[in-house]
Amino acid sequence: MNNKSTVFCFLLNRVYFIRDQNFSTASLNKSRATLCEILATRTIRQWDNLIELSNILITSWPVFSGCSNEVLAKGRELKDEFDELERVGNAMEMAVISDAKIFVKSAPCQKVISAIWSGTIVYTAESAHSLIRDSYKRTPIHYYDPRKAPLLDHYRLVVLSSTM
């Protein structure tokens, strides 16, 4: 399984199943959501390189990619300036949104979180709703080297390039 978006897709489906408000199908969808979390956790265990794990967990993917025209039409009804390509997310964000505790507690995920926490990997979320948008400063994921960084480097931004 070499597709790096698989983990994101499992967690995105988990969010969909958790948000089910129908009383008759809520318990079934809760089970489906748990299965999606377990599959995402097992899938992430295939990689052990920190850069590859970071690439999988932090890559921004379009949330509405491949959805039906009905869903896009409903999105356009709810919001006037709806752009499906602008809505992006990553696996780490989906895990937090869906409260995927098993996934976040897994060793590979903790490895990436620890690297972000210690500053080995610098991560800034790509947001389309920021006041001053600086998404033009894209650089591939790399290890942070303090010897090459300026003294006050508050623009450290690690966003995956679209080729990875």
Is the CB of residue 153 less than 8 Å from the CB of residue 141? no
- Position 94 pLDDT exceeds 70: yes
Domain range holding 55? 6-109
Name residues whose C-beta falls within 8 Å of residue 120's C-beta, 6 or more positions apart in sequence.
Answer: 50, 143, 144
Please report, as a single letter, which amino acid is at residue 75: G
How far is residue 44's CA from residue 39's CA, in Å, rounded to a whole number?
Answer: 9
Q: Phi then psi for 134, rounded to 5 degrees?
A: -125, 40
Q: Would 30 be classed as within a structural domain?
A: yes
Average pLDDT over residues 23-29: 90
Is the entire prediction scored with pTM above 0.85?
no
- Position 124 pLDDT exceeds 80: no
The 3-state DSSP class for residue 99 equals coil
Percent with pLDDT over 70 in the chain: 69
Model pLDDT for residues 64-73, shown as the tens digit of each residue: 777 778 877 7
Q: Would 41 be classed as within a structural domain?
A: yes
pLDDT bucket at 102, cuts 50 / 70 / 90: very high
Q: Would 80 be classed as within a structural domain?
A: yes
Structurally, how many domains does the chain consist of? 1
Q: Would 155 be classed as within a structural domain?
A: no
Q: Phi then psi for 132, rounded to 5 degrees?
A: -115, 105
Is the CB of residue 43 less than 8 Å from the CB of residue 6? yes
